[in-house]
Amino acid sequence: MKIVQTVEALKALIRQAKREGKTVGFVPTMGYLHEGHLTLMRQAKAEQDVVVASIFVNPLQFGPTEDFAVYPRDLERDSLLAESAGVDLLFTPPVEEMYPSGHASMLTSVEVSEITTGLCGASRPGHFRGVTTVVNKLFNIVEPDRAYFGQKDAQQVAVIKQMVKDLNMNVTVVAVPIVRETDGLALSSRNVFLSQTERQAALVLSRSLRLANEMLAGGCRQAGELRKAIAEMIEKEPLAHIDYIAITDAETLKEAEVITKPVLVALAVRIGKTRLIDNMVWEG
């Protein structure tokens, strides 16, 4: 595995791979890798000749009061893990490499409307513009055939797919199912912030999604009823504070009332100071 820090060096290596007729898979991450990231990388390796992964904590997608400064970072450990998962080129640009004049001075951005306004977009203004802008930059640098994203960030997947479709980008977006701990907690780099008691409390996210799944399997078709049952379960957990409970059409992310089509049940919950997200799709 080669570790590359500059755009120019990465482009040269990718040009060479493409000249050799190789396909390129790409896994963008913010690092502090866990089994969720590694699953994306392994799938990319199984499907493509060359796997590029990026580790970049993107300042553009963090709000002023969010956790950019304290977001966990460990490049040494990440390099070993990425290599073990089959990554060929690990792109770890410093912020100045991605934003030479500073991210606040970027004059160009890419923004997907409508589907970015609800769910995480409502509580994190500007977040998705930061995501689509950096993913656009990364796609232009890597020119991947396939790019792999986790269903853990369901809205992100929908937003990236929309961007790729609307802008005729030459990349196939692959969504990979959520990887969980054995007790149900969705893997996240932010889980490291949780104390032991918070870690226990955090199980309320997956538990309430299981409840929603059972209610849907049992015939419940009223989004309001589902939302109420989920809220009641989360509110019983003293360390948990609901950011949102969204029950939406799985494709359009428009709020559902009566459930007739595949539905996304998505949660954002603060456990102490840590904001966690989780979701499930009910296929019907």
Per CB under 6 A, 179 contacts ligand AMP: yes
Check residue 176 for interaction with ligand AMP (CB under 6 A).
yes
Between residue 180 and residue 199, which ones bind ligand AMP under the rule CB under 6 A? 186-189
150 is an interface residue for ligand AMP by CB under 6 A: yes
Q: Which of 152, 212, 223, 226 is in the footprint of ligand AMP by CB under 6 A?
A: 152
Nearest CB to ligand AMP, comparing residues 99 and 148: 148
Q: Which is nearer to ligand AMP, 184 or 272 (CB)?
A: 184
245 part of the interface to ligand AMP, by CB under 6 A: no
Contact pattern from residue 70 through residue 109 relative to ligand AMP, giving x for each residue in contact according to CB under 6 A and a dash for the rest: ----------------------------------------
Cβ nearer to ligand AMP, comparing 155 with 215: 155
Residue in the shown chain whose Cβ atom is closest to ligand AMP: 150
CB of 9 to ligand AMP, least distance (A): 22
- The least CB distance from residue 16 to ligand AMP, in Å, is 26
Smallest distance from the beta carbon of 218 to ligand AMP, in angstroms? 27
Q: 33 or 216: whose CB is closer to ligand AMP?
A: 33
**Which residue reads 């986790």 in tokens?**
150
Q: Does 127 bind ligand AMP (CB under 6 A)?
A: no
> Choosing from 34, 37, 103, 241, which is the catalytic residue?
37
Applying CB under 6 A, does 120 fall inside the site for ligand AMP?
no
Beta bridge partners of 89: 2, 52
Which of 4/134 has CB closer to ligand AMP? 134
What DSSP assignment string belongs to the chain? -EEE--HHHHHHHHHHHHHTT--EEEEEE-SS--HHHHHHHHHHHHH-SEEEEEE---GGGS-TTSSTTTS---HHHHHHHHHHTT-SEEE---HHHH-TT-GGG--------STTTSHHHHHSTTHHHHHHHHHHHHHHHH--SEEEEEGGGHHHHHHHHHHHHHTT-S-EEEEEPPPB-TTSPBP-GGGGG--HHHHHHTHHHHHHHHHHHHHHHTT--BHHHHHHHHHHHHHTSTTEEEEEEEEEETTT-PBPSB--S-EEEEEEEEETTEEEEEEEEE--
Q: Is 34 a catalytic residue?
A: no
State the minimum distance, in angstroms, from the CB of residue 36 to ligand AMP: 3
Torsion of CA 177, 147, 10, 81, to 10 degrees: 10
Active site residues: 37
